[in-house]
Amino acid sequence: MRFLLGLAAVALTATTAFAQSAQSSDGVGVKIAVFDPQVAFQQCAEGKADLTRLNVLAQRKQAENTDKQKQLQANQQKAQSGVLTPDARVQLEKEIERQQVELQRFQQDAQAEINAAQQDVQTEFAKHLRLAVGQVATEKGIHIVFNIAEPAVAWASPALDVTPDIVKKLDAKPALPHD
């Protein structure tokens, strides 16, 4: 199921895998930790419930798709059987065309519904994730948390943010001419 692989690839979750101390340039100890978002998503109750709900939705849409394909195939076989009157054959061919369009629309709508459900799961879980990562980091005295699946900072102590200092440095330099 392609959509589950996509969900697993983009799912965000939190568990600390290890923490280590590092020495910053000013001698202050900095605790760093990592977490694996996929493992946490798959192991937490919310993630398991979301995966189950998405699986049920996908299976229901797949079953509906299979039924529509069987109906279409039955009509296609009937049209090829050669036992229909010319008028009945024309009517059946129109019905087949309608079923083909309906099947294509159903598949597109089903994929859009599954994608929307995945996006909703991801968005809602991301909110919970950020809170959980921040809480774990605060409780454990961790300053920086990296997402092990991506080269990005998932959480950092606001005390470590040097953005205001960088802005001051940038503002103190004369503006460079634009090309």
Domain range summary for the chain, segments of one domain joined by +: 2-172
Cα 70 to Cα 78: distance, rounded to the nearest angstrom = 12
**Range of weakest confidence among 31-35, 56-60, 85-89:** 31-35
Q: What's residue 24's pLDDT?
A: 45
Confidence of residue 8 (pLDDT cuts 50, 70, 90): very low
Q: What's residue 33's pLDDT?
A: 86
Cα 31 to Cα 115: distance, rounded to the nearest angstrom = 38
pLDDT of 170 above 80? no
**Of all residues in the chain, what percent carry a pLDDT higher than 70?**
76
Neighbours of 66 (CB within 10 A): 10
Structure tokens at 138: 């605060």
Long-range contacts of 74-78 (CB under 8 A, 24+ apart): 75/99
Q: What's residue 88's pLDDT?
A: 92
Rg (CA), the chain: 27
pTM of the model: 0.67
Cα 46 to Cα 155: distance, rounded to the nearest angstrom = 21
pLDDT tens-digit map of 103-113:
999 999 999 99
